[in-house]
Amino acid sequence: MATRISGDAHLRQVSVERLFDDLRERTGMLWVAGRQGGSRVLTSEASQKPTIGLVGHMNFIHPFRMQIMGAAELAYLRALPQSELDHTVERLFIQDLVAIIVANNEVVPDLLLAQCNARHVALFTSPQPSPHLADVIRLYLSRVLAENTALHGVFLDVLEMGVLITGASAIGKSELALELISRGNGLVADDIVELYRISPDTIEARCPEVLRDFLEVRGIGVLNIRTIFGETAVRPRKLLKLIVHLEDHSNEAFSELDRLKVDATYQEVLGVPIRKVTIPVAAGRNLAVLVEAAVRNFVLNQRGIDSTKEFIERQQKLMEDGA
């Protein structure tokens, strides 16, 4: 039966002020009105309620909490008679509105400036095109508001594939990670791995700030992987694709393992099924080579190539031909 790992029960949130600070350099945004609105927050509640949109172009049917105005939206507002303009701008300021962004270096209408100051709603301007702004902000919010959890293990970039190595304490996860790094693979996180569900079927792994670049190896101590192996030996984040679980097996248990395991095993992480491979730990086994082989085999499986089934089918054909 697959193990299920759930996320935090509380809603994640980000303030308008933090969003502005994080994206100001990338988007060229300026805060032109509604400075008192910086404490308003966006929450992950929108992912649970499809009728609540976080960010998008000006919309009155399903209004977004952050409304973006580009050239088309501003042209529409300018074409309205004054009475209709007043009513339309009034409709913008719904209860859940937290910010308005005027894109494309468009001139901000005076009425919009006045209303944002009066209602304490942040008003930003940006030279970037409105579709680009929407994409940047959506990606940012998908990361900071993602459902998340933390697992004990080591997360590595093995052959460009995100691999979480789990197992009992002192089974050799860090030593295995060190050997994989020395073979050209990269470290994401050791000991505590933060996992975020950034889309319905995508899990992203990150490292807690305090543990970044560090790997603890028993008998040696804490190693700074970036300092020892260079910049290419560490990764800031990676998508989780495969879980490799290490199990300690005695000689008797090792001999009784299913050598032709056909059915794939999965583990649910934040509601997303992740392929899981269990590797027995025993004297004389080169675990680093086995992990790399497991990753290569997983890539082949994704392409529809299953070596085990191919071997069984070849045996069956040989038996049928000889019958």
For residue 174, give Cα distances in angstroms to 48, 161, 223: 37, 18, 11
d(CA 121, CA 320): 76
Task: Judge residue 320's burial from the number of C-beta atoms within 10 Å of its C-beta, 0-12 exposed, 13-18 middle, 19 or more buried.
Answer: exposed
Please say whether the beta carbons of 31 and 18 come within 8 A.
no
Residue 191: active-site member: yes
Residue 261: active-site member: no
Tell me which of 12, 65, 173, 238 is the catalytic residue: 173
The token duo for 230 is 């260079």
The token duo for 152 is 């004990």
Please say whether the beta carbons of 285 and 254 come within 8 A.
no
Tell me which of 4, 91, 152, 285 is the catalytic residue: 152
For residue 41, give Cα distances in angstroms to 121, 139, 141: 11, 17, 12
The token duo for 169 is 């304490």
Please say whether the beta carbons of 269 and 240 come within 8 A.
yes
Tell me which of 10, 49, 218, 259 is the catalytic residue: 259
Residue 235: active-site member: no
Tell me which of 119, 191, 212, 213 is the catalytic residue: 191
The token duo for 111 is 């009425």
3-state helix, strand and coil shares in percent for the chain, rounded to the nearest 5: 40, 35, 30
d(CA 284, CA 302): 30
Please say whether the beta carbons of 190 and 174 come within 8 A.
yes
Residue 173: active-site member: yes
For residue 119, give Cα distances in angstroms to 113, 254, 256: 10, 69, 71
Catalytic residues: 152, 173, 191, 259
